[in-house]
Structure 1
């Protein structure tokens, strides 16, 4: 494929990748009270603040990757958020009900997979010389 074609493929991949993060960010701000109730039930301190901060991180990380503005930093934000969410919100090992345990395990594994994909994107954005179709270059260089 030609270079422009690959740039478009990467852009389409970025768009598809961030749909979940950006739609989740909107949910964090439009359903804050309901999400704070769930967050509180999981034992997270200051649940409303946690929902708002995580919504902001989802939005910032997602937009950063989508637009290619310090996308390496945006990818790292998503790694940290997904790992935190997996271990704080989806503790399947604490569930006694088999159905609840399975649901939490699915969410835990989804968050781990998204953290892994975000980490790979970090490496891509931080170390590929020609990013194509981005607004800025990487923030982290020479790592």
Structure 2
């Protein structure tokens, strides 16, 4: 016979997921918006790092930061949005925060790796009940007695 016990934090899981999504999105959404409205400056900065096709790279950055950031915020396709942001963050981190060449970038490098860890958590477990995904899945969940 298997017994299930709940963890003291289970009752707060959905609220914590919502707060976590908001806090992570606050990092990406404004950054993506800034890149969109300051596109020429973004392209120049990306080009200064030696990234080929800086216009295309800027468009990708806007898609991931603004597009996936908003999807994460609202909990729409949360797992895919979080995975996309995680891959994006891992790819850009050594390019824009190479602490081995500039020691002042060490904190940003490791911060980005930690953010990637949080994003992988959302990719693994989804956005919780207080998300568009949660609402969609709740409509298909069988009623419990």
Q: How does 1:10-89 map to 2 (within 5 A)?
A: 10-89=17-96
User: After superposition, what is the alpha-carbon deviation per residue over 1:56-92, rounded to whole angstroms, capped at 9, x for unaligned?
Assistant: 1111221121111110000001111100111222222
TM-score between the two structures when normalised by the length of structure 2: 0.77
Name the CA distance, whole Å, in 1 between partners of 2:113 and 2:93. 7
1:28 touches 1:55 (CA, 8 Å); kept in 2? yes
Moved more, 101-110 or 25-34: 101-110
| Correspondent of 2:130 among 125, 130, 133 | 133
Match of 1:7 in 2: 14
Aligned to 2:133, the other structure's residue is in SS state coil
Where does the alignment leave 5 or more consecutive residues of structure 2 unmatched? 1-7, 137-145
User: After superposition, what is the alpha-carbon deviation per residue over 1:22-66, rounded to whole angstroms, capped at 9, x for unaligned?
Assistant: 011101101122221121111100112211211111112211211
Name the CA distance, whole Å, in 1 between partners of 2:126 and 2:9. 20
Where does the alignment leave 5 or more consecutive residues of structure 1 unmatched? 96-100, 139-143
Name the CA distance, whole Å, in 1 between partners of 2:9 and 2:77. 25
Bigger Rg, which one = 2
Q: How does 1:101-140 map to 2 (within 5 A)?
A: 101-125=102-126, 131-136=128-133
Name the CA distance, whole Å, in 1 between partners of 2:37 and 2:31. 10
Name the CA distance, whole Å, in 2 between partners of 1:48 and 1:90. 20
Name the CA distance, whole Å, in 1 between partners of 2:107 and 2:122. 22
